Amino acid sequence: MATEPAVYGSSDRPPRGDYTRDGLVLADYTCPQNYTAYTPQDHDTYRRLFERQSALLPGLACDEFIAALPSLGVKDRIPRFEEINDKLYPATGWEVVAVPGLIPEVPFFTLLANRKFPVTDWIRTPAEYDYIVEPDVFHDLFGHVPLLFNPVFAEHMQAYGAGGLKAHRLGACELLSRLYWYTIEFGLVRQANGLRAYGAGILSSSGELQHSVRSPEPQRIALDVTRCMRTRYKIDSYQQTYFVIDSFQQLFDMTAPDFTPLYAQVQTLGELAADARLASDRVL
């Protein structure tokens, strides 16, 4: 069954990925991992990316991520998804599933609500080694999957999927996407030994990993869900604002209530620029 790619933001080129694969892409956008298509260069790109990011983690990544990273298994090649699932499913009931690229909101939320994390199965080219516009297999596996071994974070991700389906019915996906962006993709956590990154977009980027934790340039604000949902974000530069949590349990508790009245409130308050500064912000 043919499926159409998703397009988020603006781009000069169409989304990458083969969304037909001779009928192998299902209606929910999942497909078999195209493992035989990987070249020796693809595996080497993954290996080099893994080695570089792993070396940067101490003092920058949160303890839970560092503890879970070995669960990804092999480092010298792109893992087979079933190898990861052999460990992940018994740990938290999650599994990774292959998709050809970016997928629309409803299939994405539905997969998360069913404890299935969609992983793009192609990898960047050597020319994109330092920066890639769309998520690839390295970003999805290295950045997102380790924390799915954490029971509290795993519960939060499933709840986010269920909440996303509700937000779609309410026409509030843009507001919820900002929460995803500033937490799951670009979130910071305050540990006893200082600020650390837990967002996948940070953890899979050598430059932003250091920028987010150590640079004096961005502002770092204690997470407030309303403030977060009001704040626009940029996809083509380092973040100007980061939201900070104290623990994954705090994130789970803060996002557990029904967001229906919150969506209405945010829409009346209006949007804020990515670099907005408010007197009420609790700056960290």
Cα distance between residue 53 and residue 203, in whole Å: 7
Is residue 128 part of the annotated active site? The answer reads no
Q: Return the amino acid letter for 146.
A: P
Cα distance between residue 186 and residue 58, in whole Å: 18
Contacts 24+ apart (CB under 8 A), 72-80: 72/141, 72/142, 72/145, 72/146, 75/47, 75/50, 75/51, 76/43, 76/47, 77/43, 77/46, 77/47, 78/35, 78/38, 78/42, 78/43, 78/46, 78/123, 78/137, 79/141, 80/33, 80/35
Vertex 51 angle, CA 187 and 196, to 5°: 25
Catalytic residue, candidates 95, 134, 156, 204: 204
Cα distance between residue 31 and residue 158, in whole Å: 21
Q: Are 97 and 81 in contact (CB under 8 A)?
A: yes
Is residue 144 part of the annotated active site? The answer reads yes
Is residue 139 part of the annotated active site? The answer reads yes
Catalytic residue, candidates 185, 205, 208, 212: 185
What does the DSSP 8-state code read for residue 115? T
From start to end of the chain, where are the E strands? 95-99, 116-120, 188-191, 194-197, 219-222, 241-245
Catalytic residue, candidates 134, 139, 208, 212: 139
Query: Which residues are annotated as catalytic?
Result: 139, 144, 185, 204
